[in-house]
Amino acid sequence: MTYSVAVSGASGYAGGEILRLLAAHPDIEIRTVTAHSNAGQPLVRHQPHLRSLSHLTLQDTTPEVLAGHDIVVLALPHGQSGQYTDALADTPIVIDAGADHRLTDASAWAQFYGGDFHAPWTYGVPELVVDGAKQRELLAGATRIAAPGCNASTVALSLAPGVAAGVIDPSDIVTVLAVGPSGAGKSLKTNLLASEILGSANPYAVGGSHRHIPEIRQALVGAGAVGDVRISFTPVLVPMARGILATSTAPIAPGVSDAQIREAWADAYAGEAFVQLLDEGEFPRTADVLGANTALLGLAIDRAANRVVVVAAVDNLVKGTAGAAVQSLNIALGLPEDRALTVNGVAP
> Interface residues for its own copies in 313-342 (CB under 8 A)?
313, 342
Identify whether the C-beta of residue 210 lies closer than 8 Å to the C-beta of residue 175.
Answer: no
Closest CA to 295 of 130, 122, 95, 153: 153
From residue 243 to residue 262, the character string flagging contacts with its own copies as x (rule: CB under 8 A) and all else as - is x-x-x-x-x-----------
Contact 21, 10 (CB under 8 A): no
Active-site residue, 150 included: yes
**Binding positions for its own copies, 23-62, rule CB under 8 A:** 23-24, 47-53
Burial 194-215 (b: 16+ CB within 10 A, else e): eeebeeeeeeeeeeeebbbbbb
**Which of 72, 95, 219, 290 is in the footprint of its own copies by CB under 8 A?**
290
Among 67, 77, 276, 339, binds its own copies (CB under 8 A): 276
- Residue 44 CB, shortest distance to its own copies, in Å, is 9
- The Cα–Cα gap between 279 and 298 comes to 7
| Single residue of 232, 260, 262, 267 touching its own copies by CB under 8 A | 232
167 binds its own copies (CB under 8 A): no
Strands 307-314 and 295-302: antiparallel
Query: Least Å distance between CB 208 and its own copies?
Result: 4
Q: Does residue 309 interact with its own copies by CB under 8 A?
A: yes
Residue from 70, 196, 267, 272 binding its own copies (CB under 8 A)? 196
Name the CA dihedral angle for 177, 180, 184, 189, rounded to a multiple of 10 degrees. 120
Contact 94, 7 (CB under 8 A): no
What 3-state DSSP class applies to 203? Answer: strand
Measured distance CA(193)–CA(200) in Å, rounded: 12
* Closest distance of CB 292 from its own copies, Å: 8
Judged by CB under 8 A, does residue 200 bind its own copies?
Answer: yes
Please pick, from the candidates 87, 221, 253, 300, the single residue that binds its own copies as defined by CB under 8 A: 300
Q: How many Å apart are CA 62 and CA 8, to the nearest integer? A: 9
The correct pick among 83, 115, 302, 336 for binding its own copies (CB under 8 A) is 302
Give whichever of 300 and 335 is closer to its own copies, judged by the CB atom.
Answer: 300
Q: Which of 301, 324, 333, 341 binds its own copies (CB under 8 A)?
A: 301
Choose the binding region for its own copies from 80-88, 90-98, 134-142, 204-212 (rule: CB under 8 A): 204-212
CB-based contact 94:332 (threshold 8 Å): no
Question: Measured from the CB atom, is 128 or 244 closer to its own copies?
Answer: 244
Minimum distance from residue 177 beta carbon to its own copies (Å): 9
User: What is the Cβ-side half-sphere exposure of residue 234, based on CA atoms within 13 angstroms?
Assistant: 11
Q: Does 103 bind its own copies (CB under 8 A)?
A: no
Active site residues: 150
